[in-house]
């Protein structure tokens, strides 16, 4: 598949509760009914064909990217380049 940027904007209409999902994400197969995991601070939308192991690894990659964006010291997060290569 194509490379999808890690950090994305999803617009949610506060009146209708409908969300706009960018076209490139839809083209990756996020269509119809998809599972989502949520808590008070985050929402993870899961590809319909993803196994729980793939979801877990994907979340580890997202965490590594967040740590890099925050500028965490070495050893507290892995390089997302290596993590992305391992996930393929």
Closest CA to 59 of 72, 46, 70, 74: 46
Q: Is the pLDDT of residue 84 over 50?
A: no
Contact (CB, 8 A) for 84 and 78: no
How confident is residue 79, by pLDDT bands cut at 50, 70 and 90? very low
Closest CA to 58 of 66, 22, 2, 9: 66
Q: Is the pLDDT of residue 75 over 60?
A: no
pLDDT digits (tens, 9 = 90+) for 3-46: 667 889 999 999 999 999 999 999 999 999 999 999 999 999 99
pTM of full prediction above 0.75 = no
- pLDDT reported for residue 41: 96
């Amino acid at each position: 598949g194509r490379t999808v940027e890690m950090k994305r904007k999803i617009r949610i209409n506060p009146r209708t509760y409908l969300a706009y999902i960018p076209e490139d994400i839809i083209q990756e197969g996020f269509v119809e009914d998809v599972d989502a995991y949520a808590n008070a601070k985050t929402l993870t939308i899961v590809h319909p064909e993803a196994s729980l192991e793939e979801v877990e690894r994907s979340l580890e990659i997202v965490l590594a990217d967040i740590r890099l964006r925050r500028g965490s010291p070495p050893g507290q997060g892995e390089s997302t380049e290596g993590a992305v290569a391992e996930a393929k």
